[in-house]
Amino acid sequence: MTKKKAKVINEIKVSFPSLSENERFSRLAVSGFASQLDPQVDEISDIKTAVSEAVTNSIVHAYKNEIGKIELVARIYDDNKIYIKIKDHGCGIPDVKKAMEPLFTTSPEEERAGLGFAVMESFMDKLRVISKEGKGTSVILTKKLRTKLDK
């Protein structure tokens, strides 16, 4: 028996400049979009936190002292899964595996904790980071929300 592939039932795409003010916008946009799945408060909180960390990474690390573009894509699947991709076209990450280690930071002078990826990973079901130096980084977050029957 073959497993049925989940089908996209809705999708949004938005891009915005890497201004710190837009971190809040990204959280609100994704939480508003996810609300159609009637998630529980803790699920929305988890999603907002993970998105906030990913967007903040782009603002702080990808573009350093310049303003660049951040692209956000969110999809809802018919199996109650949400997919979120945050993409920048910044400096990229030379060693993704190293960057994902807790407490690793490229900005120690700014007293960054280096916990962004660990936080994303703890709040979402799956975290994938794709990066190429000089080209940018994509952070892909997925989470299956509890169905109304599971509540």
Residue 22 has a pLDDT of: 97
CATH number of this structure's domain 8-146, picked from the four choices 2.30.30.100, 3.30.565.10, 3.60.15.10, 2.30.30.240:
3.30.565.10
**Domain regions of the chain by residue span:** 8-146
Do the strands 69-77 and 126-132 form a parallel or antiparallel pair, or are they unpaired? unpaired
Contact 16, 29 (CB under 8 A): no
Angle between helices 21-34 and 41-57 (to 10 degrees): 140
Residue 107 has a pLDDT of: 54
Q: How many CB atoms lie within 10 A of CB 24?
A: 12
Residues with a known catalytic role: 53, 57, 112
State the pLDDT confidence band at 65, using cuts at 50, 70 and 90: confident
Q: Is the pLDDT of residue 70 over 70?
A: yes
The three-class DSSP label of residue 117 is: helix
Phi, psi of 2 (to 5 degrees): -90, 145
pLDDT digits (tens, 9 = 90+) for 9-25: 999 999 999 999 999 99
Quick check: pTM over 0.75?
yes
- Spatial separation of the C-alpha atoms in residues 76 and 82, rounded to whole Å: 5
pLDDT digits (tens, 9 = 90+) for 78-121: 999 999 999 999 999 888 887 777 655 555 545 455 567 888 99
User: Which of 126, 16, 98, 31 minimizes the C-alpha distance to 63?
Assistant: 16
pLDDT digits (tens, 9 = 90+) for 36-60: 999 999 999 999 999 999 999 999 8
Range in 32-41, 70-79, 117-126, 141-150 the model is least confident about? 141-150
Do the strands 81-88 and 69-77 form a parallel or antiparallel pair, or are they unpaired? antiparallel
Write out the two tokens for 5: 């592939």
